[in-house]
Amino acid sequence: MLPVDVVSEMTKGDGVYGLGTIPFSEQFGIGTAYGHSGDSPDHTSLLIVIPAQKVSVSVLLADGNRNVDHAMGELTKALQPLLN
């Protein structure tokens, strides 16, 4: 587990792209999440952490330039019954 001051430093910001975490406010329907996405010609990825739920979710698509946000939204929707 990371120290509280480190997590605080990692999750502050204005939501624009950076080389760290990006806040996703209610974007995936299960609370504020923090994470980072990646895209290359052969894959697209997204990792999010939802602190209130104490859960992390990762999606890796074996194709570049895909809408990974949609896949993450569907996955978090399916997870909701397990998190309540």
37-83 pLDDT per residue, tens: 888 888 999 998 888 888 899 999 997 777 888 888 898 889 888 87
Which residues sit opposite 38 in a β-bridge? 45
CA atoms within 13 A on the CB side of 17: 2
Quote the radius of gyration of the chain (alpha carbons, Å).
13
Residue 17 has pLDDT above 70, yes or no: no
Report which secondary-structure segment, H or E, holds 57: strand 55-61
Query: Are 48 and 32 spatial neighbours (Cβ–Cβ below 8 Å)?
Result: no
Give the separation between CA 13 and CA 29, rounded to whole angstroms. 21
- What is the value of pTM for the model shown? 0.76
State in Å, rounded, how far the first CA of the chain is from the last one. 23
